[in-house]
A and B are shown apart, each in its own frame.
Chain A
Amino acid sequence: MLTVDNLIVRYGAVSAVRDLSLKVGRGELVALLGPNGAGKSSTINALTGLVTPASGRIVLDGQDISRVRTEDRIRAGLTSTPEGRHIFANLTVGENLRLGAATRRDPKGVRQDIERFLALFPVLSERYGQAAGTLSGGEQQMLAIARSLMSRPKLLLLDEPSLGLAPKIVVQIFDFIGELKAEGLTLLVVEQNAKQALRFADRVYVVSAGTLRHSGPPAGLADEHGLFNLYIGG
């Protein structure tokens, strides 16, 4: 589904991502773990095109999208729920969901999808006409994910879905991510919270200081020491 070869992202003289390669297969949930500042978000932003990489190749479904604009990558079936949620705080919950479906031309299907998410997250239904900025952090995260799903993506990139949320809410969010995987969606989840991310992951990449430290099945990483050593490059 997604192949990234030798991705390099630089901000001026600072290298955020150094020669990163990874693969996400159809129907897989792949976790990209690493400490703060490891280059995880830079990788995601390079994948969506919000950041232009210095070099590297990004292939989605056999199509090289390295030079494709952000808007057209979304139209090609890749969607991202950005770090910090970035819901449109001045728009209502309903308007946020409608904008998520901006690329679609089937009003009926859009309405059905909105109803589906409202049934799934009753709190969004209660707050449908309210400004999304009035939602709690966990509710905003649910709205942000639902908004991303409104475009019916083939591949969903989730950047730190647990950021700033209470542990109980984080478990709920990851339960939902597990359901999405069970429905057949392909996901790349970027996380600092390794424990939650490893619950449903098929494969794991660990990055630190912009470099890939480890890739493989999640089993070997369950040991916290192993992950800690990878983080600090031991």
Chain B
Amino acid sequence: MDYALQQLLNALAFGAEYSLVALGLAVVFSIMGLVNFAHGEIIGVSAYSVFLAAALGLTSPIVAVLLAVAAAALAAIAFERVAFRPVRYAPTTTGLLTAFGVSIVVQNLFMLLISPKPQSVSILNGLNQMWFFGPFAVSSLQVMELVVSGLTILALVLFLNRSTLGLAIRAASRDFATVRLMGIRANRVIATAFAISGALAGIAAVFIIARRGSVSPDLGFSLVLKAFVACVIGGFGSLPGAAAGGMLLGFIEVGLLVALPQEYGGFKDALTYVIIVALLVYRPEGLLGQRVELGDKEI
């Protein structure tokens, strides 16, 4: 019972983290058609900001958490302003290559300016404890991951459904030109989408730092690949799809770890992708993906 509960919590926590990062990718992709592979470096900037602040004498974990989220949101806005805005109307592949370029440049900046080796960051270690509920011992970090991700997604849903800018982001995912015809500034819609994407990455960064206790230049890259897969499972561009895809990916991974005999544990990733391929053969548009309506005539 204890074991089953622990694995369930594992799956939920992994899934929540994938969902956060996948939502960040999806919110930008849905309005710009840009797969932002530099999303991992937004997580990186966030993590290194906390590392530098701690090195300079910051001791408050709360300030570190706020700093992580703020730094990530600002980094995302800066990436858009500097790198993605000039290629906004270029073909999709240009945006994709630009994102890889940003990713490589920023990773190398971490290596050159700080160090290629992992650096220890202990300021958020306090988040990672064992909590005891009666006979059950659970990781506080996993519980927080689940609760915070849930609240964050709830806040995002409220923002997208209640605020004018949120409505504009949803509308822009289908028809950006007409959003501009409402007098809503395209730059503002896109900057907001990047800021949201960054803030989600910042929250993920907090949990990564707390779990690993260190930062390294390639910190976010593999996570973004997983988030990309989560988006594909859910249907690229669909926000509910990204959240669901992330959660499903968490469950597949943990489920395989539990089900596979120890000596076959190395096949976990391979089998994960086999399951995903099978899923895509059955539903090529992803779980919640849908065809985009283009209207009668493009303007």
Contacts from A to B (Cβ < 8 Å): 41, 45, 48, 50, 70-71, 74-75, 79-80, 82-86, 88-91, 95, 98-100, 102-103, 133, 147-148, 151, 163-164
A90 touching B174, Cβ below 8 Å: yes
A88 touching B178, Cβ below 8 Å: yes
B105 to chain A, nearest CB (A): 30
- For this complex, 14 residue pairs linking A to B, each with C-beta atoms less than 8 Å apart, are A70-B181, A74-B180, A75-B183, A82-B181, A83-B299, A85-B295, A86-B178, A89-B293, A90-B173, A90-B174, A99-B171, A103-B184, A133-B293, A151-B182
A124 to chain B, nearest CB (A): 17
Give Cα A79–Cα B183 distance, bound, in whole angstroms: 9
B182 touching A100, Cβ below 8 Å: yes
Give Cα A83–Cα B175 distance, bound, in whole angstroms: 13
Give Cα A90–Cα B293 distance, bound, in whole angstroms: 10
Q: In the complex, which of the residues B164, B171, B185, B186 contacts A88, with contact meaning CB atoms closer than 8 Å?
A: B171
B39 at interface (Cβ–Cβ under 8 A)?
Answer: no
Question: What residues of chain A lie closer than 8 Å to B295, measured between beta carbons?
Answer: 84-86
Question: What residues of chain B lie closer than 8 Å to A71, measured between beta carbons?
Answer: 180, 183-186
Interface size for B (C-beta < 8 A) is 23
B177 at interface (Cβ–Cβ under 8 A)?
Answer: yes
Q: In the complex, which of the residues B167, B171, B180, B297 contacts A70, with contact meaning CB atoms closer than 8 Å?
A: B180
Question: What residues of chain B lie closer than 8 Å to A45, measured between beta carbons?
Answer: 299
Give Cα A100–Cα B177 distance, bound, in whole angstroms: 13
A99 touching B174, Cβ below 8 Å: no
With contact pairs A88-B171, A90-B174 given, residues A163 and B296 touching in the complex (Cβ less than 8 Å): yes
With contact pairs A71-B183, A71-B186, A88-B178 given, residues A102 and B168 touching in the complex (Cβ less than 8 Å): yes
B184 touching A102, Cβ below 8 Å: yes
Interface residues of B in 145-194 (CB under 8 A from A): 164, 167-168, 170-171, 173-175, 177-186
* Beyond A83-B297, A102-B182, A102-B184, 12 extra complex contacts between A and B, CB < 8 Å: A50-B177, A79-B183, A85-B295, A88-B171, A91-B167, A91-B171, A98-B164, A102-B164, A102-B168, A102-B183, A103-B184, A133-B293
Question: What residues of chain A lie closer than 8 Å to B182, measured between beta carbons?
Answer: 74, 99-100, 102-103, 147, 151
B181 touching A80, Cβ below 8 Å: yes
B184 touching A99, Cβ below 8 Å: yes
B178 touching A82, Cβ below 8 Å: yes
Give Cα A98–Cα B182 distance, bound, in whole angstroms: 10
B180 touching A164, Cβ below 8 Å: no
A158 to chain B, nearest CB (A): 12
Question: What residues of chain A lie closer than 8 Å to B174, measured between beta carbons?
Answer: 88-90
A74 touching B181, Cβ below 8 Å: yes
Question: What residues of chain A lie closer than 8 Å to B184, measured between beta carbons?
Answer: 71, 99, 102-103
Nearest CB to that of B172 among chain A residues? A88
With contact pairs A83-B296, A83-B297, A84-B297 given, residues A91 and B170 touching in the complex (Cβ less than 8 Å): yes
A41 touching B299, Cβ below 8 Å: yes
B162 to chain A, nearest CB (A): 10
Question: What residues of chain B lie closer than 8 Å to A70, measured between beta carbons?
Answer: 180-181
